[in-house]
Amino acid sequence: MNYRIRNKGTVLKLTLLLLALVCTFFTQQIAAQPITVGNNITMSITTGVAGGTLTSVVNTARTLTYRRQLAIAKITVSTSCPTQSFTLKVLATAVPDGIAAPEVTLVNGMPATDFVVNIPVRPPNTARSCTLRYTASATFSQGNSIEDGNDVHTVTYTILAQ
């Protein structure tokens, strides 16, 4: 009977220890965001070529910051833009951890598409940043924002186990 009481005590201690470890783990997760993306962007197309197309615009002013996880991970991208008229693409460049996927064409309602893959496991648990290279383009036949409105994309980046 004494052993059972001692065993129960041991179970309690070990469980508390494990809970403490779990709490520490999740506290770290909350304190250190797994993924963050820079502020909003506006891209303006203002010129074109007669007999050709409008001149595309590139923006590389924003970064995507992420951390290694407990398992090999990847980052996906998707967008919501219900009244999309024009073309928007995004590519990860200067990727410190993982491999950049090919340039993704952002289309309203698209499934989450690979953006950075094969992100190694931690350690280290330090924040890493890659550059977001957005390219906006349009054809003459796609119209203009005054008649058709702007395209406002809500671009979502998700880091998940691969």
Partner 1 sequence: MLESLHHLGYIHRLISHHFCQLIVGLRKILAIELLTLALVLGGVAKGQTYGTDFHRVTVQVSQVTVVLVSLGTVNLSISGANAVAGQNTMTVTDLSTSFLWGTNVSQRKVTAQTNLAAPLFTLKVLAVNPTQGSAAPEVTLSTTAQDFLINIGKSSGTTQLLYTGVALASQGTGADAHTVTFTVTVQ
Judged by the rule CB under 8 A, the positions of this chain that interact with partner 1 are: 3-4, 6-7, 10-11, 14-15, 18, 22, 25, 29, 33-54, 62, 66, 69-71, 73, 85-86, 88, 106, 134, 136, 138-147, 150-162
**Nearer Cβ to partner 1, position 86 or 116?**
86
- Least Cβ distance, residue 59 to partner 1 (angstroms): 8
**Nearer Cβ to partner 1, position 7 or 27?**
7
Give Cα separations from 58 to 63, 74, 133, 136 (angstroms). 14, 25, 7, 6
- Euclidean distance between CA atoms 22 and 17, whole angstroms: 9
- Least Cβ distance, residue 94 to partner 1 (angstroms): 18
Region of 28 on the Ramachandran plot (φ > 0 left; ψ -120 to 50 alpha; else beta): alpha
DSSP secondary structure code for residue 108 in this structure: T
- Least Cβ distance, residue 75 to partner 1 (angstroms): 10
Number of residues in the chain: 162
Best CA proximity match to 160, nearest among 109, 119, 111: 119
Q: Check: CB of residue 62 under 8 Å from CB of residue 132.
A: yes
Cross-strand partners of 78: 156
- Least Cβ distance, residue 85 to partner 1 (angstroms): 8
Q: For residue 10, which phi and psi values (nearest 5 degrees)?
A: -65, -45
**Nearer Cβ to partner 1, position 40 or 94?**
40
**Nearer Cβ to partner 1, position 100 or 143?**
143
**Nearer Cβ to partner 1, position 46 or 111?**
46
- Least Cβ distance, residue 7 to partner 1 (angstroms): 3
